Amino acid sequence: MQTRTLGRNGLQVSAIGLGCMGLNHSYGPPLDKAAAIALIRAAVDKGVTLFDTAEVYGPYINEELVGEALAPVRGQVTIATKFGWKIGDSTGGLDSRPEHIREVVDASLKRLRTDHIDLLYQHRVDPAVPIEDVAGAVRDLIAAGKVRHFGLSEAGAKTIRRAHAVQPVTALQSEYSLWWREPEESVLPTLEELGIGFVPFSPLGRGFLTGAIDARTTFAQGDFRNGVPRFSPENRQANAALVQTLSRVAADKGVTQAQIALAWLLAQKPWIVPIPGTTKLARLDENLGAANVALTADDLAAIDATLRAHVVAGERYSPFGQKAIDR
């Protein structure tokens, strides 16, 4: 597996990481624990070194799973986790108060079976807490040896700059893919200027870009896509042209649509590291194979020209999720 560097502090990780959320959270029934651990360890064997989790996934269970799976190889991998949500509070919402950050980190360390978190993200920007206070709290945790690197998730350019001025940000994690390109407007230029890496989540459009989902697809109970406007049957039908474009490009290259979607991301910047998730070993192999797919400048220009002709239908989050996005 090729490697890439996130941030100017030299965090080196595999070119493609593994998003672990879907193993037991948000995408229907959880994978059997033994199978989930086997998949994570298979990813390690195949060269993956970046594993992404969060306290809210489950909640808590995902961190425990990742911690158990990676304990035998802890020194070989990078574990990323996140803070920032109220958990167990019936009102839900955000909480990035410094005292809460410290509590979350101590609890996450225990669940992850480690003495340090390699990359700690603020899961969503909390408008009630100045980002300078958040960055300062993480800076203190880095000084204490509990955290190695600071990250943000779904943060806008202004917030990134303010945080970075207090504690250098190593990576931003936000949605970015062939059907969500908003980060190109102001976020990617800011990251390039400041020397911050980018970790796209949902790089396969929550499965849609693989071609495995169409207007007739039904999702299991508990799958959060049931409440996402972009996944309504009519919007899936409207967005089918995008998948058809990918299918043609993939056929020309002799690879899969998922591999084209991931290879496109890798070709955008050398400091982009996507984290596709899966519950299947075959899909893991397919995703990792994207690192070997070379797209030429002509390929990229053709894809870009075709995609710009498609207007993606539907919001990417429910109204509640949209409120938590920083601009």
Classified as helix, coil or strand, 149 is strand
In this predicted structure, what is the pLDDT of residue 317? 75
CA-derived radius of gyration, the chain = 19
What's the per-residue H, E or C state across 50-76? Answer: EEECCCCCCCCHHHHHHHHHHHHHHHH
In this predicted structure, what is the pLDDT of residue 302? 84
List, in sequence order, every beta strand (DSSP E) within 257-318. none
Omega cis (within 30) before 59: yes
Axis-axis angle for helices 187-194, 157-166 (nearest 10) = 20
* pLDDT, one tens digit for every residue, the chain (327 residues): 899 999 998 999 999 999 999 999 877 788 999 999 999 999 999 999 999 999 999 999 999 999 999 999 999 999 999 999 999 765 679 999 999 999 999 999 999 999 999 999 999 999 999 999 999 999 999 999 999 999 999 999 999 999 999 999 999 999 999 989 999 999 999 999 999 999 999 999 998 899 888 889 998 888 888 888 888 999 899 888 888 888 988 999 999 999 999 999 999 999 999 999 999 999 999 999 999 999 999 889 988 887 888 888 888 876 666 556 766
In this predicted structure, what is the pLDDT of residue 161? 98
> What span, in angstroms and rounded, lies between the C-alpha atoms of 135 and 32?
37
> What span, in angstroms and rounded, lies between the C-alpha atoms of 208 and 231?
9
CATH superfamily of 3-205+269-293: NADP-dependent oxidoreductase domain (3.20.20.100)
> What span, in angstroms and rounded, lies between the C-alpha atoms of 195 and 65?
32
Task: Starting at the earlier edge strand, list the strands of the sheet with 197-201.
Answer: 18-19, 50-52, 78-83, 117-122, 147-153, 169-175, 197-201
> What span, in angstroms and rounded, lies between the C-alpha atoms of 42 and 319?
37
The encoded tokens of residue 18 equal 């593994």
pTM of the model: 0.95
Report phi then psi at 125, rounded to 5: -70, 130
> What span, in angstroms and rounded, lies between the C-alpha atoms of 148 and 136?
14
In this predicted structure, what is the pLDDT of residue 321? 61
Q: Where do the structural domains in the chain lie, given as residue ranges? A: 3-205+269-293
| Active centre residues (catalytic) | 57
Most distant CA pair in the chain, distance: 54
Q: Are 164 and 185 in contact (CB under 8 A)?
A: no
Dihedral sign for Cα 109, 176, 289, 273, please: negative
Which residue type does 19 have?
Answer: G
In this predicted structure, what is the pLDDT of residue 327? 65
In this predicted structure, what is the pLDDT of residue 310? 80
